[in-house]
Amino acid sequence: MLKLYMDHHIPRAITIGLRMRGVDVVTAYEDHAHTFEDPALLTRATELERVLVSQDEDVLIEARRRQEQAISFFGVIFAQQGAVSIG
């Protein structure tokens, strides 16, 4: 089962909606990691064996860097801000 780790930029309504549908979600706020920079968030999500969900394009840059340097991470789901509706 897919386990998600929500960046602090993701609207709470999305997290609530996913949980209502049975998706296993932890937020950076709940994990007390909401002040972490993108590399640390990606590392934390990997430690928890969760896919990081973010709207921050800098996360994509960090993921690409890790791929190029063969640094393992659990995955990223990118939802461009404004391109995905909550409904």
Q: For residue 40, is it within any domain?
A: yes
How many domains, in total, are found in the chain?
1
Quote the CA–CA distance of 9 and 81 in Å, as a whole number: 9
Q: What is the pLDDT along the chain (87 residues), one digit of tens a residue?
A: 899 999 998 999 999 999 999 999 999 999 999 999 999 999 999 999 999 999 999 999 999 999 999 999 999 999 877 655 555
Tell me the residue type at 12: R
Which tokens hold the place of 84? Answer: 């995905």
Q: For residue 83, is it within any domain?
A: no
Identify the pLDDT of residue 16.
Answer: 94
- Burial bucket for residue 64 (CB in 10 Å: 0-12, 13-18, 19+): exposed
- What range defines the domain where residue 9 resides? 3-78
Q: For residue 87, is it within any domain?
A: no
Q: For residue 86, is it within any domain?
A: no
CB 59 within 8 A of CB 38: yes
Quote the CA–CA distance of 15 and 28 in Å, as a whole number: 11
